[in-house]
Amino acid sequence: MLALRRLSPLLWLGPAVALIGVVVLWPVVVMVQSSFQQIGGEGFVVGYNGTDNYRHLFDEPDFVSVLLRTVVWVVVIVSVTMLISLGLAQLFNQKFPGRRVTRWALIIPWAASVMMTALIFKWALDPNVGVINVILHHLGVVKQLGSAQADWLGNPTSALLWMMGVAVFVSLPFTTYAILSGLQGIPQDVYEAASIDGATSWKAYLRVTLPLLRPAIVVATLINVINVFNSFPIIWEMTRGGPGYETATSTIFMIEIKQGDVGEAASMSAINFLLVIVIVLVYLATTGWKEQVDR
Amino acid sequence: MNKKLTSRIAGGIALASAAALALAACSSSSSSGGSSSGGGSTTTLKLVVADYGTGPSNASAKYWDTIVSAFEAAHPDIKVNVTSIPWTNFDQQVQTMIQNKQYPDITEGDYFSNYAQDGLLYPASDVLSDPGNLLPAFKAQGTYNGTQYGMPFTTSSRTLFYNKKLFGAAGIKAAPQTWADVEADAAKIKKLGKVGFGLPLGSEEAQAESLLWMLGDGGGYQTAGKYTIDSPANVEAFTFLKGLVAAGDTEPDPATVDRTTLWEQFAQGTIGMINGSPALIPIIESAGVLKTSDWTSVPIAGKTGPLKVTLGVCDNVAAFRPNGHEAQIKEFLDFAYQDKYQLAFDNEYDLLPATTTAAKALATNPVFSPFLTALPDSVQYPSDTAWANEKTKIQQTIGTAVTGNPATVLSQLEQTATSAS
């Protein structure tokens, strides 16, 4: 009887563990396995081919630039998102008329399908008739519609900047809410204590608010890093990684090579997976998350 | 007490309706099971087609629905599900179906010999009563190891379309015949504030546009069955294009612009010249901006004179083996390849037929006959198993040759092709 009791937690943990095993761990195993197999464009497994897939991947002339671009993509989007969200959360934490409505409105970019948002931006940036270009044309920023200047998505640099903008736009709601909930968890009396000690509001923000927000910021950053790293719909809909692979991140590059060589694409996925884990571990180590949890 | 009663009644109703739903689910499944046991079992064919339409009014799904409903009326034991996919996604979606082992029964669109190599396809002779009626000019393209698997369904050839109105306004008298003409005319049209030459080197169909320019000075993807993508002739063609782009005579950033977009802009009268197929004609007509007298089409300009041979493209039917529906596929294909459906397709999309009998029926048609006579000598895409992957690479990267270094881009493509084959 007692032994059975001991086992009862398993009953509650079992389903979750099984789910993680089937949905998370098993695909990882298959992915790593596929990366060492020769699998053609039609999905037939020819057999193991050692590290051939990885060698082909490293030989791709665009491989290094794709990886560097991915790092820039993640760092820029996540840091800009965090900065703006810190400001937005502060704003939404104030009492003002219509706060409830504006808080609801903030959900919209999050609730809308990212694919849809990306498509809307793509159309708005059409060099001839896109609404953003038409407005910029009226403002005198774009000299002539249909020109190279108006073709934002045709030039790799401006295309990347616009897509980063869209990525920040869709990442803001979640991040802002995460920080907002952190803000609401800070008790009022610490601010009172700070003001008695003569802290200005800026000092109070730096010395009281930010340190107490740290758990929220750590979690929001981590989730954003993982999301943005694997971000697919924005680039896929807006440029497909083109011209060439000049706006492709490693996820898009993986999809592009999957058409011809599933094995090589799997090795790209495996490297992606490894990179995300490394980034997350480094981040956790530098932010000292253990202290946060222990405290 | 009263409250308890109502909640009980509500609970009873909920239970009853749940039971009814469950029963309905049972009965619907049992009825379909009954029909299969009752002798007349139905087979469902999965037909995946490319969309040639320009909008809902002439979507290809509509064309196929006509065939399918006539076919199903004649063959109550076979159902056909039509899935139509836009050209921009066709290859990738079909490939994903195959990679995931969700095989279609029949595809109509691009065909790749890889599928034949992997034993996924039925030979044409197994699924067509009269494979000899398919146009012989395209037989080689659908053949793998001496057996024909790809069955041409519709064909087309390419010509140079130009806007006569813009030519008149720019003071150009004659049709462009050489690259020098193209360059000079495009520069004049650019002065009108329009796009001189529409150059679609984006991923949709960059492999076609590129080949048309390579042919211009005797180049091409292959020489005697071997890939020669970085041949001097091809490099020269792309160097010429690079100059054209740098001078602003094309739309900006051709590497990112798709054919569909540019054809629509040509139909809107904002592009001077563009290489097109007869499929561009209905787009011009439905836009309603250009009158028939405002545009014309001529042989494609080459380096020193118009091309003698053009690119002949055929879209193929492929019949997939894994679902084992050989007999039903044959019934359907024999039905769909009737002359009347071939002609209906050609009239709808201004494309050319793929069977000898249908071509004969169109031989006297003034619109189609020049294209039809050009077909037998046309140049076609490579048909080896390296092509499927190579084509994807070309679509993605060849456009960068007109902004970067043509020789480097082409030699990288050559390398992928030769390392694969």
Closest to B180 measured CA to CA, from B197, B165, B201:
B197
On average, the pLDDT of chain B sits at: 86
B51 found inside a domain: yes
My answer on whether B152 and B169 are in the same domain is: no
The verdict on a CB contact (< 8 Å) between B397 and A245 is yes
pLDDT at residue B20, rounded to an integer: 46
- Chain A residues near residue B100 by CB distance under 8 angstroms: 43
My answer on whether B50 and B91 are in the same domain is: yes
Task: Say which CATH architecture domain A37-294 belongs to.
Answer: Orthogonal Bundle (1.10)
Find the residue in A nearest to B394 (Cα).
A244
Note whether B62 contacts A: Cβ–Cβ < 8 A: no
Residue to test with chain A: of B99, B107, B244, B413, most A Cβ within 10 A = B99
Q: Dump pLDDT digits (tens) for B301-327.
A: 999 999 888 888 889 999 999 999 999
My answer on whether B350 and B303 are in the same domain is: no
Nearest residue, CB atoms, B255 vs list A144, A150, A244:
A244
Q: What is the ipTM of this complex?
A: 0.83
DSSP annotation string for B168-207: HHTT--S---BHHHHHHHHHHHHHTTSEEEE---STTTHH
- Chain B residues near residue A150 by CB distance under 8 angstroms: 252
My answer on whether B305 and B325 are in the same domain is: no
Nearest residue, CB atoms, B256 vs list A40, A150, A242:
A242
DSSP annotation string for B293-330: GGEEEEPPPBSSS--SS-BEEEEEEEEBSTT--HHHHH
Task: Say which residues have a Cβ less than 8 Å from residue B369's Cβ, sequence separation at least 6.
Answer: B362, B363
Distances (CA, A) of B173 to B124, B181, B185, B191, B244: 49, 11, 10, 16, 21
Q: How far apart are CA A119 and CA A238, in angstroms?
A: 7
Measured in degrees and rounded to the nearest 5, phi and psi for residue B382 equal -60, 155
**Confidence tier at A1 by pLDDT (50, 70, 90):** low
**Which residues span the domain enclosing B415?**
159-309+386-420
* Residue type (1 letter), B36: S
Note whether B242 contacts A: Cβ–Cβ < 8 A: no
Q: Shortest Cα distance from B92 to chain A (angstroms)? A: 7
Q: What share of chain A is helix, strand, coil (3-state, %, to 5)?
A: 75, 5, 25
Bigger pLDDT: B112 vs B1: B112
Give the A-side interface with B, CB within 8 Å: 40-44, 61, 127-128, 144, 146-148, 150-151, 153-155, 239-246, 256, 258-262
My answer on whether B70 and B86 are in the same domain is: yes
My answer on whether B141 and B218 are in the same domain is: no
CATH number for the domain harbouring residue B163: 3.40.190.10
B297 found inside a domain: yes
Q: Dump pLDDT digits (tens) for A165-211.
A: 999 999 999 999 999 999 998 998 998 898 888 888 888 898 889 99
- Chain A residues near residue B251 by CB distance under 8 angstroms: 146, 151
Find the residue in B nearest to A129 (Cα).
B265
Measured in degrees and rounded to the nearest 5, phi and psi for residue B42 equal -100, 145
My answer on whether B207 and B344 are in the same domain is: no
B27 found inside a domain: no
My answer on whether B350 and B207 are in the same domain is: no
Find the residue in B nearest to A260 (Cα).
B389
Per-residue pLDDT at B55 exceeds 90: no
Q: How far apart are CA A163 and CA A248, in angstroms?
A: 11
On average, the pLDDT of chain A sits at: 90
Q: Dump pLDDT digits (tens) for B238-281.
A: 999 999 999 999 999 999 999 989 999 999 999 999 999 888 88
My answer on whether B166 and B120 are in the same domain is: no
My answer on whether B262 and B403 are in the same domain is: yes
My answer on whether B169 and B73 are in the same domain is: no
The verdict on a CB contact (< 8 Å) between B202 and A242 is yes
- Chain B residues near residue A155 by CB distance under 8 angstroms: 253
Contacts 24+ apart (CB under 8 A), B36-43: B40/B76, B40/B77, B41/B77, B42/B76, B42/B77, B42/B78, B42/B79, B43/B77, B43/B78, B43/B79, B43/B325, B43/B328
Q: How far apart are CA B271 and CA B166, in angstroms?
A: 8
B31 found inside a domain: no
My answer on whether B224 and B143 are in the same domain is: no
Q: Report, as an integer, the average pLDDT of A47-67.
A: 91
Q: Report, as an integer, the average pLDDT of B133-142.
A: 87
Note whether B99 contacts A: Cβ–Cβ < 8 A: yes
What is the tally of structural domains in chain B? 2
The verdict on a CB contact (< 8 Å) between A154 and B248 is no
B181 found inside a domain: yes
Instruction: Determine contact, residues B416/B389, Cβ cutoff 8 Å.
Output: yes
B298 found inside a domain: yes
Distance of CA B150 to the CA centre of its chain: 14
pTM: 0.83
B167 found inside a domain: yes
B19 found inside a domain: no
